[in-house]
Structure 1
Amino acid sequence: MKISIIGLGNVGSTLAYTIALRGLTDELVLVNRTHSKAQADALDLQQSIPFTSHTMSITAGHMPDIEGSHIVCLAASCPLRPEYKTRADLGRENAKLMRELVPQIAEHCPNAILIVLTNPVDPMTYLAWKISGLAKSKVIGTGTFIDSLRYRHALSQEVGIHPADLRTYIIGEHGDTQFPLISTATAGGEAMEDTPEKRQLFKETVDAANQIVAHKGYTNFAISTATACIIESIVKDAKHTIPVSCYIDGFCGESDVFLSLPAVIGREGINKVFHPQVNNEEQANFKRSSAVVKKMIADFT
């Protein structure tokens, strides 16, 4: 198994460390615009491997060196600037990166699974799919996986049940229009009641990333761990159901857009996308997410 990471900012470097620590691949290739940063990260990670129970080849490379990768993680992004208030503010600059990097990924890794972390992740994943020519099942955005797990964590403290035993998802845009599927949320096979307290927990979940960014300027640990979980499901063909940004083909009447829905992730990428039951409010919310992301796609292209 060969995995390549393109973009070694705070997220890309932390993802590389997480992959190395968990032993998710035999070969890890790091690519960064400033090659010396990739070299330094590779050396540092190489010196971490002796403290684990596995071996791994970790090298710094250039785009041709990703050839033959089974998984390519695209974490490249323009720098966050004070004037950027939302993920969408990054869009125009990061769309340029998509047009620069994705054709090279498609050239060197035509059979790879491409995982997009670059924000705003839904339109960037759509652009990556369009530009690459890869199959829909092979292009995955990290989407609302991190938001869903943040919400489950908050709910677990409220109801006294382990997060892994809560079946609830946040779907739609990874951004301001995301929303929880409260109408189908369950624990132990029982429906979870829709209460003002649960809706307040969701609002706090949405604000969590903003609080982190406000205090340290970026997020990196949770998104890297979430991405590693997606990678592990691919590597081990585990077929976990994970809410990721995927191609939407008819759900709630929407299509030709990438938004988050629960999807089965295995060795070939996305094996199945679920269409959960939604009430009228949730359907309207999903359509609103779709409209927002489609507008961003149009603005960036």
Structure 2
Amino acid sequence: MDLTSEKIQRILSKYKFRDVAVEELEKIYRIYPGMTLSTGTYTFSDSTQKDLLKLTGTIPVQYEGRSYNFPIQLWLLDSFPFTPPICHLKPTSNMVIREGKHVDAHGRIHLPGLHNWDHPKSSVVGLLNEMVTKFQEDPPLSSKTTTDKKDPHELLAFVSNFRISDGGISHHDQPINKVSVIGGGDLGMASVMSILSKCKVDKLVFIDVAESSTKGGSTDLEIFSLPKVEVSRDISASAGSRLVVVTANAWSSEQSYVTVVQTNVDLYRGIIPNLARLSPSAVMLIASQPVDIMTHVAWRQSGLPPTHVIGAGCNLDSERLSHVMDINLNTHKPAWVIGELSDNKIAVMSNSGLNSSASPEIAQGSSSTKPLLDRAFEIMKNRGQRSWSVGLSIADITNSVLTDKRKVHSVSTLAQGWGGIAVEVFLSLPCIMGVNGSTRLAGVSLGQEEDSKLRNSVTSLSNLMAQLRI
């Protein structure tokens, strides 16, 4: 959200509580990064006019198993945030307003949160969440082609290739090989540069949703423009992507680990549903931390099939393990690190050689393979996961998807049903990656020590998920 433009600064200077308003706007952008700030002249019911700030964007709404983006506009009065915004639906030419309990015939939104506004207890983020809840119960938009009853099943509130801006909604064609990276900071930048180097892309969109202190990288990309790269802060720029990489993190200063992770979950709530709606056929690759939890959260929030939501997981460790075993130990067979990205991760080997044409399978654990894997782990012991190395790993997975390479990667995926895992949990498992997402390799019997580590991870991850508000 750009607060530095001359127009915005000029209007903002007239706000009675400027500093508090800026703080509130920054909170909005952290949770709803797709909202854009601009200026305009608002006409009140008594025909008086005033230059004000306004927020324009969409909110994600689920209705009977389908997903929609509802375009809205919020006018911020000069006493904001101590007075509530004036909220309107902004239907496209294909939409018609369904007058109801919370929306009048002119699109003005009426909610309890507006009528009972009491800052700081009340906030725009809370108001937007209330809109989502109320509109899911009674969608206020429908298609113009429907009958007088305006059946909400015919909603046209979301089209996968529209762009919302202050000037309205426009349609645009997307190139075939389009990749979007969501999240600023070092990992976002590393992912962009690695994908550009390794993958054949027609367009790469870098959407910066990081804190302002880490936005230097995206600004530099804007200054030193690169071919095929678009830098944006508008989620709708990702529309039509074949693969979406999410590196965004919103770590808080809270001491509780659960609270820290919840901050990331809250950030995702404003990002993931929009990404899924804008690119419903895309593979979503998660690299936010903790990766197994955030991949699980992204799958829940997106509504995409589990084969299309994966995490970077243990892919980097797996590539390192295979390299060490091939170069240092002369095994000439792929190996994968599986399980949770933690001290509980374990290693498995393939039945077939590196250049074999046979279908890949995980080898049963044996007394002969365990010493090799333990030795390889020892060699890898002091190798960290720096941003640039994770970025290279992300590019490797991206390349397998875009080229339908059918390479086996150890990625975080829905593990339920694998190796007797009965609960819904995401762990890194060997998966064949291609244009249609991931296909898990069949599970095998593990040794007692390895199985115990895997079960411990299942328990700890399940317990953490149960404490989060998804």
The answer to whether the Cα contact below 8 Å between 1:173 and 1:289 also exists between their aligned partners in 2 is yes
Q: Which amino acid aligns with 1:62?
A: D
Structure 1: tracts of 5 or more residues without a match: 50-55, 213-218
Structure 2: tracts of 5 or more residues without a match: 1-176, 357-362
Deviation at 1:146, TM superposition (A): 0.9
CA distance in 2, matches of 1:256, 1:123: 11
Deviation at 1:176, TM superposition (A): 2.2
The answer to whether 1:29 aligns with 2:205 is yes
Q: Which residue of 1 aligns with 2:296?
A: 126
Q: Which residue of 2 aligns with 1:292?
A: 460
Q: Which amino acid aligns with 2:268?
A: M
Q: Which amino acid aligns with 1:234?
A: V
Q: Secondary structure of 2:415's match?
A: strand
Q: Which residue of 2 aligns with 1:65?
A: 237
CA distance in 2, matches of 1:242, 1:61: 31
Q: Which amino acid aligns with 2:271?
A: L
CA distance in 2, matches of 1:82, 1:127: 20
1:174-209 Cα offsets, whole Å, 9 max, x none, are: 112111126x67767998934657425425635532
Cα root mean square deviation, aligned: 3.0
Please tell me whether Structure 1 or Structure 2 has the larger radius of gyration of its CA atoms: 2
Q: Residues 125-204 of structure 1 correspond to what in structure 2 (within 5 A)?
A: 125-160=295-330, 165-181=332-348, 193-194=368-369, 198-199=373-374, 201-203=376-378
Report which structure shows greater RCO (CA 8 Å, sep ≥6): 1
Q: Residues 1-301 of structure 1 correspond to what in structure 2 (within 5 A)?
A: 1-33=177-209, 37=216, 39-43=218-222, 46-47=225-226, 49=227, 56-79=228-251, 91-160=261-330, 165-181=332-348, 193-194=368-369, 198-199=373-374, 201-203=376-378, 205=380, 207-209=382-384, 219-254=386-421, 255-270=423-438, 272-281=439-448, 282-301=450-469
Q: How high is the TM-score relative to the length of structure 1?
A: 0.81
CA distance in 1, matches of 2:464, 2:320: 25
Deviation at 1:170, TM superposition (A): 1.0
CA distance in 2, matches of 1:106, 1:262: 24
CA distance in 1, matches of 2:224, 2:400: 23
Q: Which amino acid aligns with 1:127?
A: V
Task: Report which stretch shifted further, 227-236 or 143-152.
Answer: 143-152
The answer to whether the Cα contact below 8 Å between 2:276 and 2:304 also exists between their aligned partners in 1 is yes
CA distance in 1, matches of 2:465, 2:458: 10
Deviation at 1:160, TM superposition (A): 4.1
Q: Which amino acid aligns with 1:74?
A: V
The answer to whether the Cα contact below 8 Å between 1:245 and 1:260 also exists between their aligned partners in 2 is yes
Q: Which amino acid aligns with 1:138?
A: H
The answer to whether the Cα contact below 8 Å between 1:186 and 1:192 also exists between their aligned partners in 2 is no
CA distance in 1, matches of 2:287, 2:273: 17
Q: Which residue of 2 aligns with 1:216?
A: none
Deviation at 1:268, TM superposition (A): 1.3
Q: How high is the TM-score relative to the length of structure 2?
A: 0.53
CA distance in 2, matches of 1:89, 1:156: 42
The answer to whether the Cα contact below 8 Å between 1:252 and 1:286 also exists between their aligned partners in 2 is no
Task: Report which stretch shifted further, 149-158 or 24-33.
Answer: 149-158
Distance 1:2 1:195, change over 3 A: closer
Distance 1:124 1:225, change over 3 A: same
The answer to whether the Cα contact below 8 Å between 2:252 and 2:260 also exists between their aligned partners in 1 is yes
Deviation at 1:256, TM superposition (A): 1.2
CA distance in 1, matches of 2:381, 2:292: 16
1:67-116 Cα offsets, whole Å, 9 max, x none, are: 111111100013597979x9x88523222222221122123222221110
Distance 1:18 1:294, change over 3 A: same
Task: Report which stretch shifted further, 277-286 or 38-47.
Answer: 38-47
- Name the count of aligned residue pairs: 279
The answer to whether the Cα contact below 8 Å between 1:15 and 1:224 also exists between their aligned partners in 2 is yes
Q: Which amino acid aligns with 1:208?
A: R
CA distance in 2, matches of 1:82, 1:157: 44
